[in-house]
Each structure stands twice: as structure tokens, then as C-alpha cells.
Amino acid sequence: MKYKFMLVLVSTLAQAQWLNFPTPGVPRSKDGKPNLAAKAPRTADGKPDLSGVWHVQPTSMAEMKRLFGNRADATDVPGMELDTVSKYAVNILLDSKPEDAPLRPAATAVMKQRAGKDLPSSGCLPLGIPLNSLLSEPFRIIQSPRLLAMLYEADDKHRRIYLDGRVLPKEFDQPAWLGYSVGKWDRDTLVVETAGFNDKLPLDIMGHPRSEALRVTERFHRRDFGHLDAEMTFDDAVMYAKPFSIKLTYNLWADSDIFEYVCAENEKDRAHSVEK
């Protein structure tokens, strides 16, 4: 992995808090456990309700070793073992053959410049999209008719996705870490368009870059009560010769919540880092 895997993220599983508090409205089987195969809920206005605490369906360690070598687990960070994250967190271009990877020379140059350096999050900067929803930490969706919020445990950041009919502006005076997002419903699928990013963050741990031209299209479909299917398409003509997509499933963590996260709390790594 060309980008050093030091995220300064050490967390405990979110299921450990709010013990013995069954969330109201969760369908349950006879033994009292959440029925994750139950019908997906809807809001009062009939739209699919995406609310809940979600965690990316992780990639198995066997698959991680097949993809990244038998020593892949040597990169494990306590609380964020490699088989608790998505393979796309490591390499967002996994679905492209190396000879077909759509990297432009500008992207290759940025990756060479970043090689061997820590992720920006090691200095308490955000993880960004999509990395903050691909790691060990869950995120919470809070949905209302005109606004949907995503609260990320990983770096204590949030996104506001406006559902009030507005469209993205053609230009952005202030590029943002997580961009600017608007959404609309395509039947039972929420389609989110995000643009206005700055160019300061990578898309994955390997360091695949983004530019201010990046536009991300996400499609979210709650298949049933316990599974949220997502497709993300990345279009950045400065860094990549063509758009590319990844498909994911998020699993519901019922009867749970996200923790607060303070980046510098108990942090002991930075004093041992070597600036390059």
C-alpha cells in the first residue's frame, strides 16, 4: 500500500453502548432479535426511510489476502482490523485491471508525491468521501422530508444532503472537504449528486487523488430492513480518463448508535512520525 495506513482511529464497536435498549419500531423475530430481512420501512410521506446506523459490509480476511498479499493483515490497527473494512477503502480502483486503470498523468504524479506519507487524517483532517463510510466505524442516517444527514463516527464529520428541490451551482466559491450534496428520489432509490470538493484528500488508502472537478453520484436503495445497497460513481476528468463506479452494501446495526470521536484524544503517534 503506497499510502501509509495510519489513521489514528481506535474505536470500540458501537453495539457496546446503550445496552439493553431495544430501538422502538425495529421488527423482531420470536427470540427478540431484530428481523433484518423484514420489509424496508417508509416515512409518513411514503418515501423509503433510510434512517438508522449503518456499517459497510466488510471484506473477509481471506479475500483481503488474495487481493493484497498474505501479509495484508500486518497493517491491522487495533479496533480497525483489515477484515472490518471494505476492500474499496484500500483501493477504489480494484474493479479495474491494472492495464485499464483510468489514471491520468496528473493522478500518477500526485500518488508518487504522496507515497510513503501518512493519510491526512493522521493530522486530524477529514477522511472524506467515500473513505469515511468504508472503514470499521459506522455512520448514522437521519432523514427528514427536505434534508438527509449522514453522521460519520470515523472522524466526527457530517454531510447535509438537501432534498428540497435545489440543484448544485455551476461554480463553488469555497471548495469543501465533503463537497455539497443534493438528492432526489428515483422511485425507491435516493440519487445524490455531490460536487464542490477541494483537492486535499485521497479517495482511498492507496492515495488515489481527487481534484476540484470531482463529481460523485450515489444511488441508495434500502433493499429490506437490514440492508442498504449503494452504487457510487466518480467522475473527475482532471485525474481520471473516464468515470468509474463501485457497488457496496451497508448492514444495519440495530439497537446501536455511533460514538463521539475526538481526533487528538489519547493520540500518541504523531510524536513518532517522520516528516518527508
pLDDT in tens, 248-260: 999 999 999 998 8
Closest CA to 178 of 193, 197, 162: 197
pLDDT in tens, 90-137: 999 999 987 788 999 999 999 999 888 888 888 889 999 999 999 999
Give the mean pLDDT of 262-266: 76
Q: What is the pLDDT of residue 49?
A: 98
pLDDT beyond 90 at 226: yes
The predicted model scores a pTM of 0.89
Q: What is the pLDDT of residue 17?
A: 58
CA 238 to CA 98: how far, in whole Å? 19
pLDDT in tens, 147-163: 999 999 998 999 999 99
- How many other CB atoms are found less than 10 A from the CB of residue 269? 11
pLDDT in tens, 65-80: 999 998 887 766 666 7
Q: What is the pLDDT of residue 9?
A: 44
Cell of 250: 451497508
Tell me the average pLDDT of the chain: 89
Q: How far apart are the first and last CA of the chain?
A: 17
Q: What are phi and psi of 114, to 5 degrees?
A: -90, -10
Virtual torsion, Cα 231, 138, 148, 256, nearest 10 deg: 130
Question: What are the Cα distances from residue 5, in Å, to 39, 88, 121, 272?
Answer: 39, 14, 10, 15
Q: Identity (one letter) of the amino acid at 235?
A: D
Q: What is the pLDDT of residue 208?
A: 96
pLDDT beyond 50 at 213: yes
